[in-house]
Amino acid sequence: MKCSAYLTICALFATAAVAQDFSGSGEIHLINGSNFDSASLDNRIGCLDARGAFTQSNCATFTRLDVYPNTVSSSVGNCSFTDATQPANTDNPYGAHSYAWHCRADFAASISDTLYTVHGFKQTYLCHGDINCFYDVKNLPEVNVTTPVWEYLWGSQQLTIPAGHTQVLWYWNKTA
């Protein structure tokens, strides 16, 4: 019985899944949304620039390493949430050590910087860590201005996105 339940669930996901290709090069677009099923590419609010910041129009091309640790880099360098020189998300009780996504030439990427997608999503949304597929932006940038992007953290002290912030998904817009 247990085995057939797993087969049924797998079949359901297999029929609902969209071909997802998180490889090569692409842009990372930010989609305003807090639900994978109802999120739409029509809700695109910007993208990431070469330094990893949220911008409305200066989209960078990122390249995914196709071998371990499967990280992404831009023309500036490797990208990570662990760069302590970047602003922390201090509006979140868990954000004291949650640094903005940032790309730089002298940064050596590690397994903690891996991005991936999940089969079954309607789109190629990017996740990191332990199925953490949402991100946090405080301000929507104006034209020619950038703003930081943090990983979305929650727990008993912070059940939702912090007040004044926007919860977003990262969509891989494959270019090559």
144: left (phi over 0), alpha (psi -120 to 50) or beta: left
Q: What is the pLDDT of residue 19?
A: 56
- Identify the CA nearest to 82 among candidates 108, 116, 56: 108
Q: pLDDT-based confidence at 109, cuts 50/70/90?
A: confident
pLDDT tens string 13-33: 333 444 588 999 999 999 999
The structure's pTM equals 0.86
Helix, strand, coil percent values for the chain (each to nearest 5): 15, 30, 55
d(CA 146, CA 140): 9
